[in-house]
Amino acid sequence: MVLDADSVNCEAEEAVEPDTQACSRGSFTVMAASIDSLLEEISGVEDPIEELQGLKTALLSIPVSALRDSVGGRRLGVIFSLLNSDHREQVQLCVDILERILMALSPEHLVQNYRVELQAGLNHPNENVKILALTQIGRMVEHPDAVTEILHNPDIVRSLIHCIEEENIAVAKQAIHSLSKLSHSKTGLDKLFHSDLLRVVKEVMATSDVVRYRIYELVVEISSVSPISLGYCANSSLISQLLCELTGDDVLIRATAIEMVTSLAHSQHGRQYLAKQGIMDKISNMIRGADTDPLSSLYLPGLVKFFGNLAIADSPQQVCETYPVFQNKVFEMALDPDPAMIGVALDTLGLLGTTVEGKQVLQKTGEKFKAVLLRMSQLAGSGATELRVRSLDAISQLLTLEPEQQTEDLLALTESWFRLLSNQPIDMVRNISTQPFPELHCGALGIFTAIACQPWGQKLMISNPGFMEFILDRTMGQTKEAKDAKFELVGSLVSSSTAAAILGSQYYLRLKTYLREGPYYVSAVALVSTEGAD
């Protein structure tokens, strides 16, 4: 092979592609040898901080993809042993080193070679060591072969359960995640619910209210996987215990229980189970009785959220007709002076409005919903920024219609709602969009995006003087979120089959150009002006 003057070989810092790869392999081999020598040095040093720092630096110089070959066959017992120290810097260096190496190794390799060390890490007093062990065990439980080894070692599962009672929430969450993954098989379910480990779960559960609800979180996660998983959890009595918390004396515990039950209702088999247990009726009665409870504001939002999620998962019409107290309470909360009540009502109305059936249910209430819609308009125009944003988002959800949903009746419905917002609704929403708050700007553009693909919305836009120029003006809203929101609005217009005819070819072509140029396009004139200013 002839090399030109600009080419270099490995020794003379000249390179062609094959030689570069050979050099890399050679350098990794040398580095692996230096890692070997560093490990040997560390094992014979009384105060190994300097050597550990050297090893950490060496490991960081090798790509993770190459680490498997460099250190995969080497025993790391010396590093694990150095974790047993009160010296925080030493422990942290060991954690950093192990984190780097272990992530390069396969879950099978870990479970075969470092299972005992990682189990010890679960009981270590240092939180970072616990998280290191939990992270690696989390990888193992997601591997079909490695998880079998874990399930054959109940001591590891027992240690995972005890991690749920740790004060550090990150440790508890990772333990919950791993235990949930373990329960994705019948073997895992049997191990957790048909052995002494269930007794361990209940003992840990008795530690405190906080830990009890972490166990409920685990149970709900497991129950959501399948009807079989739910059956195991139900037979353990843990779900019935959770359901009893709904009507407990402590309102804060009651509020947390409602959140858990709402999560359980996300799956169809979960909803069916709750219905059989009469939970829907119980929650409906709780809403009804909230009027006479001075502390109901602490748990009422959760009750309403439960039925809101239930309505979307099943049928808005069926839920609202079966439990009319829910819909009435949402309207009542929307007119309430308490911001916490208003916020939940706005979110729930927006949620209902995402479906055609939900829109029709709200329309059937007549004047009641009109009063609520007027209130939403007032909130969008003034008040606390958070409520304004939530109002704008809810209105955009109520007004949104997909192309296949645009029947004559539904188009008439959304147009009538939009016109109820103000005498000049286009101007009202546009004024909100020009205020110096990015979240309000994007929320207002969201409403325009909702009506942009509907013929009546396009007619209102083109008849409003200067509105199309406002849409095409790239100087309005300079944040990434604002540019993305404007781009979505333009895309909604261009995608409509009626836009070209209603807006006219001139505006339609300019909108298509805007779309083609992308959300962050800057014209040459603008660039020259900016450079001149600099």
Contacts of 353 (CB under 8 A, 6+ apart): 359, 362, 394, 397, 398, 399, 400
**What is the predicted pLDDT for the residue at 5?**
37
**What is the predicted pLDDT for the residue at 175?**
96
The DSSP symbol for 250 reads -
How far, in whole angstroms, is CA 311 from its chain's centroid? 22
394: left (phi over 0), alpha (psi -120 to 50) or beta: alpha
**What is the predicted pLDDT for the residue at 71?**
60
Q: Which two tokens stand for residue 312?
A: 């979307």
**What is the predicted pLDDT for the residue at 378?**
94
**What is the predicted pLDDT for the residue at 534?**
45
417 within 8 A of 467, measured Cβ to Cβ: no
C-alpha span between 456 and 292 (Å, rounded): 46
**What is the predicted pLDDT for the residue at 383?**
80
CA angle 335, 337, 340 (to 5 degrees): 95
Q: 154-182 burial by CB neighbour count: b if 16+ within 10 A, else e?
A: eebbbbbbbbbbbeeeebbbbbbbbbbbb
Contacts of 394 (CB under 8 A, 6+ apart): 346, 347, 349, 350, 353, 376
**What is the predicted pLDDT for the residue at 475?**
84
C-alpha span between 183 and 189 (Å, rounded): 5
Intervals of the chain under pLDDT 50: 1-26, 28-30, 73, 528-530, 532, 534
Q: Which two tokens stand for residue 351?
A: 């949620």
Q: Which two tokens stand for residue 287?
A: 């809403």
Q: Which two tokens stand for residue 446?
A: 């969201």
- State the angle between helix axes of 300-313 and 324-334 in degrees (0 to 180), rounded to the nearest 10: 120
Q: Amino acid identity, residue 429?
A: V
Specify the residue for token string 């407990």. Answer: 248
